[in-house]
Amino acid sequence: MGSPLHKSLNQYDIIPNKFIKSISMTLSEIAKNVFNIEAAAIAKLSEYLTVDFDQAVYSIQNSKGKLIISGMGKSGLIGKKIAATLASTGTPSFFLHPAEAYHGDLGMIEPNDIVLLLSYSGETDEILRLMPFLKNQKNIIISMSGNPNSTLAKNSNYHLNISVEKEACPLKLAPTSSTTATLVMGDALAVALMNKKEFKDENFAKFHPGGTLGRRLITTVSDVMQRENLPICKPRDSIKDVISQIGIGKLGLVVVIEQEKTLGIITDGDIRRAMDTHESNFFGLLASDLCTSSPKTINADSRLTKASDKMTENKINTLLVTNNQNKLIGIIQMYDLGI
């Protein structure tokens, strides 16, 4: 007789070879396999697009009502995210649970509303039970399913095909690729509507006033820039004066100014490099010898997003804030952006 361990291992003899292969994969290999399957499913969606997508976007864009999304189970969870994305990008939208709708919440749906129904099979009972009410009220119905011949698809004004060849789940049962496809199709709707409505960052800011994102979208440079006791010097100032001003300002730099015009900037890095290259006559240098001309500047009324983009693009962490006459009125650094 074999050991208990031997008996346990022998039990795997009845498992199909393909499953034995899957359990021998490393965790990283399993993850990569999921990524590849779902990425292929998303890429395939473009082949399923029809004029129904365009018509769905135009209908939502021109609607005088709301966009109401409903789905059961995993589709419902994805539906909540789609509704949230649409609502935050300028399309009034909310999620309605199909079971609760059938037990009184149908009153939330008004005749001018458009309804987006999600069901991968297209045969989900809780979803199909909503159809008589919606048709009687003459609501425009947009559906997403993986079967263009399903009951749901045939009874919709516009159908969006989210068919996938296989789920990433090894048992081919748990919604994985199909829910990803649903989510991506929802994102496509939201982005298309943003484009048609010319939805801009200032519009986005209205719906995202909280957190770092909202702060960067709404706040301007003048709200956070440092404007008091700015470290400045003149072109003829000595290196000792320059170093002194850098220390007093505690910003790691000094701005070179003459007749109220901003000429350039000297950083503590410039000082260190000058010590290496001008060791013998370092203390004989003047501010003009170290000054970097044409420093990067920004207007005080610019939003923090623009300041962030400009710093990232130029690989710097400081911008000089100047007015139309090139007069220094402030300094803004990366940490002032709150990121």
Q: Which residues of the chain have pLDDT under 50?
A: 1-15, 19-20
Residue 42 forms part of a structural domain: yes
Residues 164 and 93 in one domain: yes
pTM, 2 dp: 0.62
Cβ contacts of residue 174 below 8 Å, gap of 6+?
167
| Residue 247 belongs to some domain of the structure | yes
Strands 140-145, 114-118: pairing is: parallel
CB 242 within 8 A of CB 282: no
Pair (187, 147) in one structural domain: yes
Expressed as residue numbers, the domain containing 164 is 16-199
Structural domain includes residue 68? yes
**Amino acid (1-letter code) at residue 284:** G
User: For position 195, what pLDDT does the model report?
Assistant: 84
CA-to-CA distance for 119 and 84, rounded, in angstroms?
18
> At 68, is the secondary structure helix, strand, or coil?
strand
Same domain, 76 and 185: yes
Q: Is 211 a domain residue? A: no
Q: Are residues 261 and 325 in the same domain?
A: yes
Same domain, 244 and 288: yes
1 within domain boundaries: no
Residues 164 and 225 in one domain: no
Strand partners, 159: 143
Domains in the chain: how many in total?
2
User: Do 149 and 235 lie in a common domain?
Assistant: no
41 in Cβ contact with 34 (< 8 Å): no
Within-domain flag for 103: yes
Domain assignment of residue 208, yes or no: no
Which one, of 161, 159, 123, lies nearest residue 141 by Cα? 159
In terms of domains, do 194 and 234 share one? Answer: no
Tell me, what CATH number does 268's domain have? Answer: 3.10.580.10
Q: Are residues 190 and 225 in the same domain?
A: no
Structural domain contains residue 169: yes
